[in-house]
Amino acid sequence: MSGSTRLIFGFHAVLAKLRHDPEAIREIYVDAVRHDARLRDLVASAEFAKVRLLPVEAARLEAMAPGARHQGVLARVSAEQRHVTLDDVLDTLAEPAFLLVLDGIQDPHNLGACLRVADAVGAHAVVAPKDRAVGLTQSVIKVASGAAETVPYITVTNLARTLRQLKERQIWLIGTDDQAPINLYQSTWPTACAWVFGAEGDGMRRLTREICDQRVAIPMLGSVSSLNVSVATGICLYEARRRRLQSLAGE
């Protein structure tokens, strides 16, 4: 791979690139023996965007991205990062929004782990403030183990304003707070939601907390009083994902 291009892999990452920045895609490689509906949809999207598509053997995909969970699809894209806005993501969703909001995470290992969780549960984007947050450093990208490429990481100049805009789109804001009056398993929420987690130690800022539609706590049954933010993210997002699947299946 030349210095001017890079690889992204997996259906979520490649489809997102096709939707938001198709001109940056040099070519897409797909497993030549895979012919399921999901791949057919991706092929149709690539053809519509006039992106070159190459069926190849599975061994070649493995050689291009050793050890990656590529799902039979890789794309070679421009190494230049295109700025993606939250509106870019939300305006192209075909299902209720599922977002992660991080209010001032400072530790790169925590941010990288949160990105991995967001990728694992199928979150549509991670939103964070530009200031007082770690950002996508090389350490974050390494810890994220590929998730920094697959989940849009969107930084905003005014998080409070962005949260209000999400509410205007009928996206329910759920803040996580040790002092919340109700716990995760007692609470209910709409399918379209954004989960809000605060910084290490300090939690959500006051204004962020006040804007949330709902606050929930994770039940703590042992001797420790709190959890690492990435662990808390995993607990809450997987519970949200479980209920989301039930809700969408019932529609």
Of 78, 101, 130, the last residue of a domain is 78
Burial class (CB in 10 A: 0-12, 13-18, 19+), 219: exposed
Please name the residues in contact with 120: beta carbons below 8 A apart, sequence gap of 6 or more. 147
Q: What is the pLDDT along the chain (251 residues), one digit of tens a residue?
A: 445 888 888 887 788 778 777 888 999 999 999 989 989 999 999 999 999 999 999 999 999 988 777 889 999 988 766 667 899 899 988 899 999 999 989 999 999 999 999 999 999 999 999 988 988 876 887 788 777 777 889 999 999 999 999 999 999 999 999 889 999 999 999 999 999 999 877 789 999 999 999 999 999 998 887 889 999 999 999 999 999 999 888 76
Tally the domains of the chain. 2
- CATH code: domain of residue 54: 3.30.1330.30
Tell me: do 135 and 105 sit in the same domain: yes
My answer on whether 154 and 229 are in the same domain is yes
Structure confidence at residue 1 (pLDDT):
42
In this structure, are 66 and 184 located in the same domain? no
Does one domain contain both 181 and 58? no
Look at the pTM and tell me if it is higher than 0.85.
no
* Beta-strand runs (E) in the chain: 5-9, 25-31, 53-56, 73-78, 98-103, 125-129, 153-156, 172-176, 193-198, 214-216
Which CATH number do you get for residue 175?
A: 3.40.1280.10
Beta bridge pairs of residue 129: 156
163 in helix, strand or coil? helix
Last residue of a domain, one of 46, 78, 110: 78
Domain carrying residue 109: 86-249
Task: Give the pLDDT of residue 251.
Answer: 62
Do 152 and 32 lie in one domain? The reply is no
Residue 111 has what pLDDT? Answer: 95
CB-based contacts of 155, cutoff 8 Å, min separation 6: 127, 128, 129, 130, 133, 135
Say how many CA atoms lie within 13 Å of 210 toward its Cβ: 5
93 with 152, same domain? yes
Are residues 113 and 207 both part of a single domain?
yes
- Predicted pLDDT of residue 2: 47
115's CB contacts (< 8 A; 6+ apart) are: 126, 140, 144, 147, 148, 151, 153
Cα(36)–Cα(33) distance, rounded to whole angstroms? 9
36, 130: one domain: no
Three-state DSSP class for residue 85: coil
